[in-house]
Copies of this chain bind each other. A is one copy, B any other.
Amino acid sequence: MNKPARVAVTGAAGQISYSLLFRIASGQLLGKDQPVILSLLEVNVEAALRALDGVVMELADCAFPLLVGVEKHTDAQACFDAVDYAFLVGARPRKAGMERKDLLEANAQIFSVQGKALDAAASRSVKVVVVGNPANTNCMIAQRNAPSLAPECFSAMTRLDHNRAAAQLAARAGAEVKDIANIIIWGNHSSTQFPDLAHATVSGRPALDLIDSDWYEVEMIPAVQQRGAAIISARGSSSAASAASAAIDHMHDWIFGTAADRYVSMAVVSQGEYEIEKGLVYSYPCTCQDGKYQVVERLKTSDFARTKMKETEDELKQERDGVASLLP
């Protein structure tokens, strides 16, 4: 039996974690031969800690053979001690009357603390995925506060948008989703994101040969950008199971590699690829191999695409400027 992997999950008593933890503990993240210790973080508030107790009781009640330990923490550094993987799910949600700037700052506080804690305590090869919104900027703050960890340890999740775009394309093209490849989500996990089908294929054929550009530009792009709101409207609460599933996909592919000739969307620290400002956490097409991601470079981009890529970059710059005081 392998040595147990330590997996941290923050916001552990929340709805996304409730869909995520049981899939990790059942072996869907790391496979059937890898024991897991879950290290869970919650805020030190009575209601959250009671709910966390309930989740931990239910994890025990599943009798998962691979789950060899569950820890409850309210201190980030204790939670991140020697962790191999970290899902940063918890974030301050927007409350009625809250300005966007206040939301950014409240989260910047959380993620600067968590970045410092990862820096101090996590495995030197930790893989971090930020799910809590605003995910890209939260990730940037955590990464900048963790100078002793490689920037390549950090990522933010745009895989949910990626999967949503794949599902929309499959439905439109009358194909199965497994036959869709090379969707790209560029930029921010927000309504400015750019879901790009220019390189996508359906059973190997260019997607844009199979669908009309009107549907793509006028219907699909906004549908993917606004999908979160559509889910809230139907369910009465925000996407949880699909967000958790995307987080599993993101981390699983990062660890075990992407399929040959396929890329996935991951928001990572920009090195200036595609003329995006260095240091922003920007979603790019990526391939993964041997536990490392690589941005797919030199794809041809149209004027239409470059305009969209710039719009979402501009939003990320604004977010960064809004939290400048917390960036070392």
A26: interface (CB < 8 Å): yes
> Quick one: CB contact mask for A11-25 with B, threshold 8 Å, 1 for yes?
000000011011100
Complex interface: chain B residues within 8 A of A67 (CB)? 177
Cβ-defined contact, B19 with A63, below 8 A: no
Chain A 144-182 residues near chain B, CB threshold 8 A: 160, 163-164, 166-167, 170-171, 176-178, 180
Over the window 205-249 of chain A, the binary record of Cβ atoms lying under 8 Å from chain B Cβ atoms (1 yes, 0 no) is 000000000000000000000010011001110011110111000
29 contacts between A and B (CB under 8 A): A18-B19, A19-B19, A22-B241, A26-B28, A26-B245, A50-B234, A54-B231, A54-B235, A55-B235, A57-B230, A57-B234, A58-B231, A58-B235, A59-B242, A61-B227, A61-B239, A61-B242, A61-B246, A62-B163, A62-B241, A62-B242, A62-B246, A63-B164, A63-B166, A63-B170, A64-B177, A65-B176, A65-B178, A68-B176
A235 contact set on B, CB distance < 8 A: 50-51, 54-55, 58
**Could you tell me the dominant secondary structure of chain A's interface residues?**
helix
Q: Distance (Å) between the CB of A324 and the closest chain B CB?
A: 34
Known pairs A65-B177, A163-B63, A171-B60; A18 contacts B241 (CB<8 A)? yes
Q: Which residues of B contact A63 (CB under 8 A)?
A: 163-164, 166-167, 170, 177, 180
User: A27-60 toward B: CB 8 Å interface, digit per residue (1/0)?
Assistant: 0100000000000000000000011011101111
The 3 closest A-B pairs by CB, nearest first: A54-B235, A54-B234, A65-B178
Give me the interface of A with B, judged by CB distance under 8 Å: 18-19, 21-23, 26, 28, 50-51, 53-55, 57-68, 160, 163-164, 166-167, 170-171, 176-178, 180, 227, 230-231, 234-236, 239-242, 244-246
Q: Please, how many angstroms separate the alpha-carbon atoms of A167 and B25 in the complex?
A: 14
A183 to chain B, nearest CB (A): 9
Measured CB to CB, the nearest residue on chain B to A25 is: B245
Query: Are A61 and B160 in touch, CB under 8 angstroms?
Result: yes
Identify which of A22, A50, A59 gathers the most chain B CB atoms within 10 Å of its CB: A22
